[in-house]
Chains A and B, each alone.
Chain A
Amino acid sequence: MSTYSITKTDWDKLLVELFSEYDLYSPKGVEGGWTYQLLTKDNIAQISYESHKYCSIDPLKIFFSPVKETVTDNKEEEVSSKSSKKRVIVGLKSCDLAALSILDRVFLSEDFIDPFYKEKRENTILMSSDCLDAKESCFCTEVGGNPFPEKDSGVTYDSDYKSSIISKGSLFQKQSFDLNLTLLDNEFLVEVGSEKGKRLIEANRTLFSEAKKEAVQKREEKREGMKAKVRERNKVFSSKVVKSFQDIIKAKDDSILWKELSEDCVECGACTNICPTCHCFLLIDSAQKEKFFKDKTWDSCQFNGFARMAGGADPSDELWKRFRNRYLCKYSYKPENFGFLACTGCGRCIDACQGKIDKREVLNKVTSSQ
């Protein structure tokens, strides 16, 4: 699809225009990074595209699979299609989009579609942007991604996925933005990624001009520069991260190794809560007067009792087994089931870990133990 140019002033105009129909969210600076905030009409012009350099603290999943939502009150068979206002999310990054493709595979799988997720997904316009910097924990390039979104960059599923990750070097997820923004001096290069995005441009066509070749060229240079930066930052891990999942499978029965690796884990669940691809949840029944509810809340495979059955049997009864599960799930089970890794290299779990466990180091140790 096409690429356009738009000035910063005109872009703000467009967002103000959208305000009547949509709730607008954008990352806003807080201590230690950015979190998504609901915008008011007045602070649209204040969205700082320069300062929001890499992914936000909060994962994009908060918009589609909220911390808690009521999924049934036993009364309504049909899910109302007008229960949530349409939303525009500005400023999400490449890794956020990659994570959505995992969630899509989970919640929109043909056999059972989650109507709550689907409705939110359909009612949301995603306006991503290129990364302008990388934090210490960023490692998207090591799992096959890039610090900028690419339309359908994902490697398609190879039945022999184990060799495909080695030969093609990537099992990265598909990315589906509606529009992607690259900041160049005082204008944006806008890439169209979907029909939704295309319609938005067409409706406001006068604000946009065709992108110049030089501008696109400049974008590519910037992108290559960022990519090199993330690569450089992860040099110490010697590109082993992406290849290590085969070794994770091999090391699955090595309890001594996993016990050692999980020594600093305090079972707080921060890594899974902050992970943009972790989707596990707990269904909780409750009653209020005459009404009964079933609520869906985030849960974590790192918690003791997560897999416990009636009668007390628990396949994940020890910490190292739960710790191992997060690695097996992301680097082995999901690739086998979906054809891509369930890790986007966003580094959030590294930043959030109370025990200062660096996932890249874990992956490295698993690799070198073989």
Chain B
Amino acid sequence: MKNPYSLTQAKIEKIISETPEIKTFVLKPKESLPFATGQFIELTVPGVGEAPFTPSSSPYEVNKIEVTIMKAGFVTEKIHQMGEGTVVGIRGPYGKGYPIEKFYNKEVLIVGGGVGLAPLRSFLLTLLHEVDKFKRIILCYGAKTPEDIVYKQSFPEWKKLSGLEILRSVDKADENWKEYEGVVTILLDEVKVNLGESVTIVCGPPIMMKFATRKLIELGHEPKNIYLSMERNMSCGIGKCGHCALGKYYVCKDGPVFTYEEIKDIPEIWV
């Protein structure tokens, strides 16, 4: 019987520095680990610890997995110290991904904040793979400063794509910044979507998710059409260790993607 805790070795092929605190690691697993966009993996630093990450690469790219990691704790600190060529352990994928087929023929509004763009990049690349299936794709992205924007090299390419609209804001602009200034929710006032025909996908820091959701509700979006990528302390990944409980759900098994409808009555969801 398969041991759910056993790891697949993965070599860090390339490290891309996104911001002073965020790096993208391109991993090449010994055996391919097919995943659906929105699912996550557990990454082990051998002998040190394990942490959950949602791949930021396209699921159509089968030979490598990219994870974009912010220095935020014990394990991520260690990962940031690693160099190219280092071998880590990965297992997964876990959880449920985004129900892409439900979004066909709809306007898809993507709202991301900070490093929360990581899973959304994977999601976006998945949509772009079959871009004709969606009525509209709009990306609203917010970061603290222009320097804190991740995937800086991808934006120029994305901006050229037809079928993808991009709005960006920073909390604090510098002299070169020509886009919006303010928190990401201000972008939602600029975007006019057809409420009955749209879904919104949100990922970012809890405080940003809270206010984005509140804003979307104010604007008339239905809770069942708001998809939130929830963060909890996912550890085992298989719904047994209890650390990622969110009401009656385990985020690792029942999520990490939930509609606001599913979780709106649970206490302390925005922590």
A interface, size bucket: 35 or more
For B48, the chain A residues whose CB sits under 8 A away are 285, 287
Considering the complex, which residues of chain A in the window 53-81 have a beta carbon less than 8 Å from any beta carbon of chain B? 71-72, 74, 76-79
Cα-based distance from A309 to B231 in the complex (angstroms): 8
| Inter-chain contact A77/B241, CB cutoff 8 Å | no
Name the residue of chain B whose CB is nearest to the CB of A112.
B238
| A19 on the B face (CB < 8 A) | no
> Which residues 114-155 of A sit at the B interface, judged by CB distance below 8 A?
114-115, 118
Residue of A78, A107, A109, A294 with highest tally of chain B CB at under 10 A: A294
CB-defined A-B contacts under 8 Å, sample of 22: A74-B7, A77-B2, A107-B240, A111-B238, A115-B3, A115-B4, A253-B267, A280-B243, A283-B50, A283-B236, A285-B47, A292-B46, A301-B242, A307-B232, A307-B233, A307-B244, A309-B231, A311-B73, A313-B271, A314-B271, A315-B268, A328-B247
* Per-residue B-contact encoding for A290-308, CB less than 8 Å = 1, 0 else: 0011101001010000111
**Complex CA distance for A307 and B231, rounded to whole angstroms:** 11
Beyond A71-B3, A72-B5, A313-B206, is A299–B242 a contact (Cβ under 8 Å)?
yes
Q: Does A35 lie at the interface of the complex (its beta carbon under 8 Å from any beta carbon of B)?
A: no
Give A78 to B206 CA distance when docked, in angstroms: 39
Cα A119 to Cα B4 in complex, Å, equals 14
CB distance from A70 to the nearest CB of B (A): 10
Q: Does A38 contact B (CB under 8 A)?
A: no
Task: Name the interface size band of chain B.
Answer: 35 or more
Q: Would A337 and B248 count as touching, CB distance under 8 A?
A: yes
Nearest A residue to B3, CB-CB? A79
Q: Find residues 27-48 in chain B having any chain A CB closer than 8 Å to their own CB.
A: 44-48
B182: interface (CB < 8 Å): no
Verify if A236 is at the interface (C-beta below 8 Å from B): no
Is A310 an interface residue, CB under 8 A from the partner? Answer: yes
Q: How many residue pairs bridge A and B at CB < 8 Å?
A: 129
Contact partners of A280 in chain B: CB under 8 A: 241-243
Q: Complex Cα distance A301/B241, Å?
A: 10
Which residues of chain B are near A287, meaning CB under 8 Å?
46-48
Knowing A78-B3, A337-B248, say if A112 contacts B72 (CB, 8 Å): no
| Distance between Cα atoms of A293 and B240 in the complex (Å) | 19
B1 with A113: CB separation less than 8 A: yes
- Known contacts A310-B75, A333-B245; is A285 also within 8 Å of B235 by CB? no
A254 to B200, CA, bound (A): 32
A267 at the interface (CB under 8 A from B): no
Is B239 an interface position by the 8 A CB rule? yes
Q: Which of B1, B51, B75, B268 sits near A118, CB closer than 8 Å? A: B1
Instruction: Please tell me if A252 contacts chain B, counting CB pairs below 8 Å.
Output: yes
A354 located at the interface, meaning its Cβ lies under 8 Å from any Cβ of chain B in the complex: no
B214 to chain A, nearest CB (A): 18
Given contacts A72-B6, A307-B232, A308-B233, contact A111 B239 (CB under 8 A): yes
In the complex, A76→B6 CA distance in Å? 8
Instruction: Kindly state whether residue A106 has any CB partner on chain B within 8 Å.
Output: yes
Return B86 CB to nearest CB of chain A, in Å: 14
Task: Compute how far the CA of A316 lies from the CA of B243 in the bound complex, rounded to whole angstroms.
Answer: 10
Report if A14 contacts B (CB, 8 A).
no
Given known contacts A309-B231, A310-B75, A313-B271, what 9 new A-B pairs fall within 8 Å (CB)?
A71-B3, A74-B7, A283-B235, A287-B47, A301-B245, A306-B243, A307-B244, A315-B269, A333-B245
